[in-house]
Structure 1
Amino acid sequence: MRIGIAGITGRVGRLLVEEVLAAGATVAGGTTRSPEQAAGLPAGLPLFTTMSALAKECEVVIDFTHADTVASSAQALVGTGVAWVLGTTGLSAQQNQALRDAAGDITIVHAANFSPGVTLVRRLAQMMGQALPADSYDAEIVEMHHRQKVDAPSGTALAIGQAVALGRGVALEDVRESGRDGLTGPRKPGAIGFAALRGGQIVGEHDVLFTSADEQITLSHRAFDRRIFATGAVRAALWAKGREAGLYSMEDVLGLPPL
């Protein structure tokens, strides 16, 4: 199996190279904006400047690049038969639409986080959102990441919040509360709150809290190494080969039944 890696010279891209090889697959090459940073990659590994060029060399592309590239990458992959494993977060409505349109032609696995543990936390958060009434149980999501992270809340935290909102039958944008500061007034009924902490070199920590007047339930996930994201993405790539066109999630890769 030939797997291409978008952003191959980046931090996650290098881990993906190692995990693809460890899985017994072939690294077909990768895209990069900085060929001079290729030191340390396997000798002779083909490097490309466009997704179109990479797609000609592989069966699946793993992509952890930037949301700004999603629409152009979707356009480049449509009609190629190449599956697309996408870990990019922070997509706009237009970019999400480009993804859905492309899924009519190619196999796409899109996840905010490819960790099996986070996938299960999201599933449990949805179940708890469905089972615990919003007027009795306040939902809060706390995340902490390394000091270099530029977005908040994290894409994973938002994905967990979306799972809670789905369980409650509401749209996250209608009930989301982030960054409380000053005289905010009492907590809004049914709100899903977010708090973002930054410091050190923490890979990723997420806590989901459901708190009533009588009890509190907490779901926690700690990532100790970024490699878990690469390992999960390669697992998704191996799963995606030969699948029918469509938009899939990590829950599909893990074989979880629909709720």
Structure 2
Amino acid sequence: MTGTSSPAATTPRLRVAVAGASGRMGRMLIEAVRASDDCVLAGALDVAASPAVGSDATAFLGIASGVPITADLRAGLQHADVLIDFTRPEGTLAHLAVCAELGVKAVIGTTGFSAVQKAEIAAYAEKTAVVFAPNMSVGVNVTLKLLQMAAKALGEGYDVEIVEAHHKHKVDAPSGTALKMGEVIAEAQGTRLSDRAVYERYGDTGARQQGTIGFATIRGGDVVGEHTVMFIGAGERVEVTHKSNSRVGYTEGSLRAARFLATRRTGMFDMFDVLGLN
């Protein structure tokens, strides 16, 4: 007796929409989605004033995807499972409102949110699943874990300074990653960053106040992102540094976050959750 084999079951590919589709990060995300085996581009968003609106989302690659770049949020999200967003706070919140309405999950790499805006994101996470992190790089998030460990061991007697450098087009300072580093250190030591942060030093500042966490910002050229945290004690200094040579790490981390959300319906998550570091 000759049997007939049934076709192998295939897992549907994750349908991904990208915000800021004509920007540098947006294009890298679109290229990464196309190169993946388990994701497919399902939407591309941009502001109405963008000259790219109406064009094919992969035209910059010299190929056609059949996905047009649109400023119509509902049209751009209607076929998506998850949105990846690296835009600006106001735009991200507008996108997230529609995601919550349509049941689309969201990976948010946008930085520069106020405390009130972060509370809005948390409220939307009660309606859909959200991964929200100031940096999607796997390496950066492993660095954050190392800082958590160092902060617990290097508490008393060590001053903390955070130095970050980014390209000249970055509009917020300190970077979201630098702030997250400060938050991780403060929390690991049982304190709050808001009670310890020093963002400016000029003129006669007086001696360094014990327990503060200092920030220094560098902007110039095309620096993708560099962060160094110094734990400075008597006779020694421990430095933890992460340098990004390209934005590829952000795209790969974003896709890992999107895959993580595939099995979640609601809730607020970060990259520690995605990477199993919590």
Which TM-score tier does this pair reach, normalised by the shorter chain? over 0.9
CA contact (8 A) 1:70 1:99 kept: no
Report SS of the residue matched to 1:36: coil
- Shift of residue 165, structure 1, vs aligned partner: 1.0
Report SS of the residue matched to 1:8: coil
Which of 128, 134, 138 is equivalent to 2:159? 138
Report SS of the residue matched to 1:183: coil
2-structure distance, mates of 1:57, 1:244: 17
Equivalent pairs, count:
256
- Shift of residue 52, structure 1, vs aligned partner: 2.6
Identity %: 41
TM-score for both structures, normalised by structure 1: 0.93
2-structure distance, mates of 1:238, 1:220: 28
Cross-structure match for 1:87:
109
CA RMSD of aligned residues (A): 1.5
Deviations 1:149-201 (A, max 9, x none): 22221111111111111111211111101231221111111000111112221
Report SS of the residue matched to 1:70: helix
Cross-structure match for 2:272:
251
CA contact (8 A) 1:74 1:98 kept: no
Cross-structure match for 2:29:
16
- Shift of residue 35, structure 1, vs aligned partner: 4.7
CA contact (8 A) 2:43 2:77 kept: no
2-structure distance, mates of 1:64, 1:254: 20
1:155 aligns with 2:168: no
Cross-structure match for 1:119:
141
Report SS of the residue matched to 1:233: helix
1-structure distance, mates of 2:72, 2:112: 22
1-structure distance, mates of 2:238, 2:221: 28
Cross-structure match for 1:69:
91
1:217 aligns with 2:219: no
- Shift of residue 47, structure 1, vs aligned partner: 2.1
- Shift of residue 45, structure 1, vs aligned partner: 2.0
CA contact (8 A) 2:85 2:92 kept: no
2-structure distance, mates of 1:7, 1:131: 41
Deviations 1:125-171 (A, max 9, x none): 122222222x4110110111122222221111111111111111211
Work out which of the two has the higher radius of gyration on C-alpha atoms and give 1 or 2. Answer: 2
Which of 126, 131, 136 is equivalent to 1:104? 126
1-structure distance, mates of 2:112, 2:50: 26
CA contact (8 A) 1:152 1:196 kept: yes
2-structure distance, mates of 1:195, 1:93: 21
Deviations 1:225-255 (A, max 9, x none): 0121112111211221121311011111111
- Shift of residue 93, structure 1, vs aligned partner: 1.8
One-letter amino acid matched to 1:29: G
One-letter amino acid matched to 1:36: P
1-structure distance, mates of 2:41, 2:231: 43
Looking at both structures, which has the greater relative contact order when contacts are Cα pairs under 8 Å and sequence separation is at least 6? 1
1:57 aligns with 2:56: no
Q: Which runs of 5 or more structure 2 residues have no equivalent in the other structure?
A: 1-13
Q: How does 1:23-62 map to 2 (within 5 A)?
A: 23-24=36-37, 25-33=39-47, 34-37=49-52, 38=55, 39-40=59-60, 42-43=63-64, 44-62=66-84
Which of 197, 204, 223 is equivalent to 1:176? 197
TM-score for both structures, normalised by structure 2: 0.87
- Shift of residue 83, structure 1, vs aligned partner: 1.0
Report SS of the residue matched to 1:45: coil
2-structure distance, mates of 1:99, 1:53: 22
Report SS of the residue matched to 1:184: coil
